[in-house]
């Protein structure tokens, strides 16, 4: 585990760092969600991810608590499937994404959830995101998966759930915040004591040029 | 050193034979293009070039021998012309290296290995046909003149009625096809008889400059629309005709099919739209395949079709841009390398071994933007592809040394290759002594990072499994990529958009490993590299060099008549060129310039061409190709200067490169 909580300079300030992985079928909008979350941008025409992208974003939960996500945005295409364990193996949390206008994408999401529950860290927090909500707002007939069906599944599988739109930013920040709140901040410090030796690396200050944004760039 | 005086002698000899031949064609060497040298060879031969070049050859070769670059790794086995013998270290490999990359390099090679090249691009005897038909063929019209499909089998020997009639056109289409100017038919370029055109030095070369005159014509507008997307056919088929008309206006197409005829990739239009065409092409190919007689290319409706068969795939290029077959093959080869890079050769082979009717689109998903980025680069015209060489960022030798040392000092154990690339140009490389980096692999990487949008748009760091076929076509490597913006340096605003392509304003740190778990190691190395480059001032040097852009031709040779040039150092497999400013700022002007370079390149690389110097004069430009064992130089001036002035400038360029060699090229690089 590489999550970590440390006491900052301010009295009572807490800083925690978690690894988050995004999984889901190709073109459901994983990269778009991440780009919205990290840079508050959206791209109508995005090329498919090659391999995986690594980004970080820091959010404040309240006056004293800062959470930094180290995000693996994985490629949804079949041929990269065998690499997925490398990204979720040490993850504290996962966002599994489907496209609410594509029925098959929820099946794929369910398969990912299953795999995570079997293979990933047993305390992993999983959120299910039904993306492209904006498409349905305009054309309700485009919806292929009802909110209640997805919700029922999420409840049953013990997942956080929301419908999102990377395009309009609807529920994007909220989703990540909900995950952060669910992460075991209190225990993270203790777990961190026996974290792997890479810890030091992961916590290096951001070098100039890496994606900035967020509180850590001051 | 004798080569060069020999060279010019050979050129004039060749000129003489060519003259004879144009009267009574007989020697197998050369053909139409060869004979263009005829008049010029005499003058060029006498030109200072001959004399100068014997002088110029000394220094560069001495430099090369000081720091021999290790040999490049073997090419994949499908490139069966690979000469294993060429890897032995030593100064001679500087040149033989290139013959070790035949398929990719088929057009850009040295006089020393010319024979190899000729066979390289036509793996199977087409050379014989070509030479043979050159004897009997009258130079003929540009490809566009033939209305109907004619087929050329590149193969010698078989003498069906068809091929006999067809054969006689083959040489001109291959050679003459590239003589035809871009947009030539519209610009009315064909004055005089075609024979005259080819025999004369005065044929109409593409006009790379005068974009104003033609800016409004139909063809020009078409070229600006070349990259517009063709919309899908409506379900009711209502717009099909219209979309098809648009499809036909495209000047360049690339198609990839499986040998079972399944479409795998096409640059323009969806499958439905062009299924008819795909069917026709497939039928034609398999007709010849059935006769055990591979079809290499044919011309129809003003377009040159070139077909490359690679294992279970057919790759087809259709061009109205006047490139010759060898040049188009280099482009097809690059597309094939991209497919290997995605899948690896064993995977590709197995997919089809298991099921001949496999639909490769699925396993290739996501590769389409990379293929299209390559295709569009070729359509716009690409010096690195034409020359099969890399361009480096020009910085001082000592500055590059500091960067190399930084990479070496911070190197982690799992590192295979480390590169710093700025704005599509190589800044520094570190590599193990026993492996060099293959230019065609770098082309794939640069295309992925700087031409396609996917990786850069992600906005983060990247971990990319990829096969580098030149390194090893059987397995994946893992590439760590992070971008540093070139603009936000030392508090200075980078609003000056002088760097030539805005989208390439990026510095990339690439760290490649064979270990798929080494992301964090490489990331740590990257942080250390960037940190130290910042501290030792290298980063701002790189950024400044990127923002400065390339010098113009007149910066390089004050007062020169040259508007642009390409200089390829054969030994380093690198090239350098000036800025496209001020004469070639528009896409069309650049394409015309590149078409002219293709013509020049074709003339000095034509089969059996022995020319070392080739002049080309047109209404709008005078240009020169000059090939020695050490370099290839292509220069372009406006229409007015004399050949003498052009030759003088060419010499000045060579002198400049000699002076700046260790700045414009990476010589040796850093090894560990
Ligand atoms: N309308 C709409 N389009 C979206 C939304 N999110 C993503 N898209 C579009 O869907 C396409 C695919 O988005 P990506 O973010 O690349 O999908 P991905 O899941 O990362 O795909 P892979 O990288 O192939 O796994 C892009 O064209 C996006 O613009 C959304 O919320 N609404
Ligand atoms: Mg993605």
pLDDT for A86-114, tens place per residue?
999 999 999 999 999 999 999 999 999 99
Q: How far is the CA of A27 from the centre of ligand 2 (A)?
A: 7
Chain position carrying tokens 């006769």: B291
> Which tokens belong to B4?
């060069």
A80 CB neighbours in chain B (<8 A) are 465
d(CA A116, CA A89): 9
Q: Is the pLDDT of residue B379 over 60?
A: yes
User: Which ligand lies nearest to the CA atom of residue A77 in the structure?
Assistant: 1
Asked if B139 contacts B180 with a C-beta cutoff of 8 angstroms, the reply is no
d(CA B260, CA A52): 33
Residue from the list B366, B516, B519 with its beta carbon closest to the beta carbon of A48: B366
- B458 to A198: CB separation less than 8 angstroms, yes or no: no
Q: Residue B536 has what pLDDT?
A: 94
Q: Which chain A residue has the Cα nearest residue B523?
A: A201
Q: Round the average pLDDT of chain B to a whole number and report it.
A: 68
- In this prediction the pTM is 0.72
A86 burial via Cβ count (<10 Å: 0-12, 13-18, 19+): middle
Give the range among B131-135, B353-357, B622-626, B645-649 with minimum mean pLDDT: B131-135
Judged by DSSP in three states, B665 sits in coil
Q: From the CA of B505, how many Å to the nearest CA of chain A?
A: 13
B164 burial via Cβ count (<10 Å: 0-12, 13-18, 19+): exposed
Give the range among A12-16, B123-127, B505-509, B640-644 with minimum mean pLDDT: B123-127
d(CA B164, CA B229): 40
Judged by DSSP in three states, A22 sits in strand
A195 CB neighbours in chain B (<8 A) are none
d(CA B477, CA B341): 10
**For B534-541, which contacts have Cβ atoms below 8 Å and span 24 or more sequence positions?**
B534/A208, B536/B402, B536/B406, B537/B402, B538/B399, B538/B402, B538/B403, B538/B406, B539/B484, B539/B489, B539/B507, B540/B489, B540/B490, B541/B395, B541/B399
B448 has a chain A CB within 8 A of its CB:
yes
User: What's the pLDDT tens digit per position in B296-332?
Assistant: 777 777 788 888 888 889 999 988 877 888 889 999 9
Asked if B532 contacts B406 with a C-beta cutoff of 8 angstroms, the reply is yes
Question: Chain B neighbours among A 62-121 (CB < 8 Å)?
Answer: 71, 73, 75, 77-80, 83, 86
Alpha carbon nearest to ligand 1 atom 7, residue: A29
Question: Chain B neighbours among A 139-198 (CB < 8 Å)?
Answer: 198
Q: Residue A69 has what pLDDT?
A: 96
Q: From the CA of A78, how many Å to the nearest CA of chain B?
A: 7
Q: Which chain A residue has the Cα nearest residue B530?
A: A207
Judged by DSSP in three states, B93 sits in helix
Q: How far is the CA of A27 from the centre of ligand 1 (A)?
A: 5
> CA torsion, points B626, B627, B633, B634, in degrees to nearest 10?
50
Q: Which atom of ligand 1 is nearest to the CA of A135?
A: 1
What crossing angle do the helices spanning B48-56 and B58-66 adopt, rounded to 10°?
20
Q: Residue B588 has what pLDDT?
A: 85
User: What's the pLDDT tens digit per position in B662-672?
Assistant: 999 998 778 88
Q: Which of A87, A60, A10, A38 is nearest to A185 (CA)?
A: A60
Q: Is the pLDDT of residue B30 over 90?
A: no
- B369 to A48: CB separation less than 8 angstroms, yes or no: yes
Q: Is the pLDDT of residue B2 over 70?
A: no
Give the E-state strand segments of B469-612 in sequence order. 477-485, 506-513, 562-569, 574-576
d(CA A17, CA A200): 12
Q: Which residues surround ligand 2, an ion (CB under 5 A)?
A: A 30-31, 49
> Which tokens belong to B506?
């990026």
Q: Residue B44 has what pLDDT?
A: 33
Q: Is the pLDDT of residue B580 over 90?
A: yes
A39 CB neighbours in chain B (<8 A) are 459
d(CA B539, CA B556): 25
A211 CB neighbours in chain B (<8 A) are 459-460
Q: Residue A197 has what pLDDT?
A: 36
Give the E-state strand segments of B194-280 in sequence order. 252-258, 263-266
Highest mean pLDDT among A207-216, B200-209, B426-435, B490-499: B426-435
Contacts of residue B140, Cβ cutoff 8 Å, sequence gap at least 6: B168, B169, B172, B173, B176, B194, B195, B198
Judged by DSSP in three states, A141 sits in helix
- A26 to B365: CB separation less than 8 angstroms, yes or no: yes
> Which tokens belong to A85?
């364990």
Phi, psi of B121 (to 5 degrees): -80, -10
- State CA B421 to chain mean position distance: 19
Q: Please give the residue that has the higher pLDDT: either A189 or A175.
A: A175
What DSSP assignment string belongs to B7-35?
Answer: HHHHHHHHHHHHHHHHHS---SS--HHHH
- A47 to B453: CB separation less than 8 angstroms, yes or no: yes
Residue from the list A50, A55, A71 with its beta carbon closest to the beta carbon of B464: A50
With cut-offs at 50, 70 and 90, classify the pLDDT of residue B495: very low
Quote the DSSP letter at residue A212. -
> Which tokens belong to B274?
């062009």
**Residues B425, B327, B183, B636, CA torsion sign:** positive
Residue from the list B458, B523, B534 with its beta carbon closest to the beta carbon of A49: B458
Asked if B408 contacts B438 with a C-beta cutoff of 8 angstroms, the reply is no
Q: Which atom of ligand 1 is nearest to the CA of A24?
A: 19
Q: How far is the CA of A33 from the centre of ligand 1 (A)?
A: 8
Q: Residue B292 has what pLDDT?
A: 66
Residue from the list B454, B459, B462 with its beta carbon closest to the beta carbon of A38: B459
Question: Chain A neighbours among B 476-535 (CB < 8 Å)?
Answer: 478-479, 482-485, 516-517, 519-520, 523-524, 526-527, 530-531, 534
Q: Enumerate residues lining ligand 1, CB below 6 A.
A: A 24, 26-32, 43-46, 48-49, 75-77, 131-132, 134-135, 165-167; B 366
d(CA B627, CA B170): 25
Q: Residue B611 has what pLDDT?
A: 64
Give the range among A189-193, A200-204, B407-411 with minimum mean pLDDT: A200-204
Phi, psi of A30 (to 5 degrees): -60, -50
User: Which ligand lies nearest to the CA atom of residue A53 in the structure?
Assistant: 2
Alpha carbon nearest to ligand 1 atom 3, residue: A132
B483 CB neighbours in chain A (<8 A) are 209
Judged by DSSP in three states, A194 sits in coil
């Amino acid at each position: 585990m590489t999550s970590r909580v440390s006491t900052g300079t301010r009295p009572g300030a807490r800083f925690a760092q978690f690894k988050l992985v995004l999984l889901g079928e190709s073109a459901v909008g994983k990269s778009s969600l991440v780009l919205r979350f990290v840079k508050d941008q959206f791209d109508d025409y995005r090329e498919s991810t090659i391999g995986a992208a690594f980004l970080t974003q820091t959010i404040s939960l309240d006056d004293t608590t800062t959470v930094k996500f180290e995000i693996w945005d994985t490629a949804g295409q079949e041929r990269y499937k065998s690499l997925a364990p490398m990204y979720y193996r040490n993850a504290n949390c996962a966002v599994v994404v489907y496209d609410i206008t594509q029925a098959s994408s929820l099946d794929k999401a369910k398969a990912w959830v299953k795999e995570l529950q079997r293979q990933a860290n047993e305390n992993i927090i999983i959120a299910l995101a039904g993306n492209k909500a904006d498409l349905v707002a305009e054309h309700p007939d485009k919806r292929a998966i009802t909110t209640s069906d997805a919700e029922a599944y999420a409840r049953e599988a013990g997942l956080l759930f929301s419908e999102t739109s990377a395009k309009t930013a609807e529920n994007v920040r909220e989703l990540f915040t909900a995950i952060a709140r669910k992460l075991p901040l209190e225990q993270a410090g203790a777990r961190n004591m026996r974290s792997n030796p890479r810890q030091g690396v992961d916590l290096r200050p951001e070098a100039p040029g890496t994606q900035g944004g967020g509180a850590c760039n001051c | 050193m004798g080569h060069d005086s020999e060279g010019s002698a050979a050129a004039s000899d060749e000129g003489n034979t060519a003259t004879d031949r144009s009267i009574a064609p007989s020697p197998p060497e050369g053909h139409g293009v060869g004979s263009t040298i005829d008049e010029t060879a005499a003058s060029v031969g006498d030109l200072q070039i001959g004399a100068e070049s014997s002088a110029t050859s000394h220094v560069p070769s001495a430099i090369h021998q000081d720091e021999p670059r290790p040999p490049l790794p073997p090419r994949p086995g499908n490139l069966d012309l690979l000469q294993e013998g060429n890897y032995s270290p030593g100064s001679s490999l500087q040149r033989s290296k290139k013959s070790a990359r035949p398929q990719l390099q088929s057009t850009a090679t040295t006089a020393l290995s010319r024979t190899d090249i000729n066979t390289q691009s036509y793996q199977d005897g087409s050379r014989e046909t070509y030479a043979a038909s050159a004897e009997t063929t009258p130079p003929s019209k540009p490809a566009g003149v033939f209305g109907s499909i004619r087929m050329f089998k590149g193969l010698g020997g078989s003498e069906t009625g068809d091929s006999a009639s067809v054969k006689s056109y083959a040489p001109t289409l291959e050679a003459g096809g590239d003589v035809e100017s871009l947009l030539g038919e519209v610009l009315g370029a064909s004055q005089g008889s075609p024979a005259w055109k080819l025999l004369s030095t005065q044929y109409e070369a593409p006009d790379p400059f005068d974009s104003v005159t033609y800016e409004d014509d139909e063809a020009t507008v078409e070229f600006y629309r070349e990259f517009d997307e063709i919309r899908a056919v409506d379900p009711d088929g209502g717009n099909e005709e219209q979309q098809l008309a648009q499809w036909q206006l495209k000047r360049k197409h690339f198609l990839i099919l499986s040998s079972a005829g399944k479409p795998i990739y096409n640059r323009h239009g969806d499958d439905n739209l062009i299924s008819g065409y795909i069917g026709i092409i497939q039928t034609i190919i398999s007709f010849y395949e059935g006769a055990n007689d591979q079809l290499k290319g044919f011309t129809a409706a003003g377009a040159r079709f070139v077909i490359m068969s690679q294992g279970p795939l057919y790759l087809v290029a259709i061009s109205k841009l006047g490139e010759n077959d060898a040049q188009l093959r280099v482009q097809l080869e690059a597309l094939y390398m991209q497919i290997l890079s995605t899948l690896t050769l064993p995977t590709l082979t197995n997919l089809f071994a298991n099921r001949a009717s496999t639909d490769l689109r699925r396993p290739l998903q996501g590769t389409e933007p990379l293929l299209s980025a390559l295709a569009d680069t070729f359509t716009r015209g690409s010096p690195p592809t034409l020359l099969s060489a890399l361009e480096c960022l020009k910085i001082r030798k000592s500055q590059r040394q500091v960067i190399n040392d930084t990479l070496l000092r911070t190197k982690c154990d799992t590192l295979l290759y480390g590169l710093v690339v700025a704005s599509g140009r190589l800044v520094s490389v570190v590599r193990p002594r026993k492996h060099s980096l293959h230019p065609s692999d770098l082309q794939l990487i640069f295309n992925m990072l700087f031409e396609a949008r996917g990786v850069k748009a992600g906005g983060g760091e990247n971990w990319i499994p990829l096969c580098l076929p030149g390194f090893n076509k059987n397995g994946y490597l893992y590439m760590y990529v992070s971008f540093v913006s070139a603009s936000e340096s030392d508090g200075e605003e980078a609003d000056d958009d002088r760097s030539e392509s805005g989208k390439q304003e990026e510095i990339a740190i690439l760290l490649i490993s064979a270990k798929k778990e080494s992301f964090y190691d490489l990331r740590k190395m990257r942080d250390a590299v960037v940190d130290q480059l910042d501290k030792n001032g290298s980063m701002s040097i790189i950024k400044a060099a990127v923002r400065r852009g390339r010098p113009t031709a007149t910066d390089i040779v004050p007062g020169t008549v040259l508007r642009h040039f390409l200089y390829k150092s054969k030994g380093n497999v690198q090239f350098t060129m000036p800025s496209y400013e001020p004469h070639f700022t528009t896409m069309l002007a650049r394409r015309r310039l590149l078409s002219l370079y293709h013509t020049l390149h074709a003339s000095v690389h034509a089969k059996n061409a022995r020319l070392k110097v080739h002049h080309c004069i047109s209404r709008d430009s005078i240009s020169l190709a000059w090939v020695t064992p050490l370099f290839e130089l292509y220069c372009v001036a406006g229409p007015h200067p004399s050949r003498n002035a052009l030759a003088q400038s060419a010499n000045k360029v060579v002198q400049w490169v000699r002076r700046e060699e260790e700045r414009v090229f990476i010589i040796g690089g850093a090894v560990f």
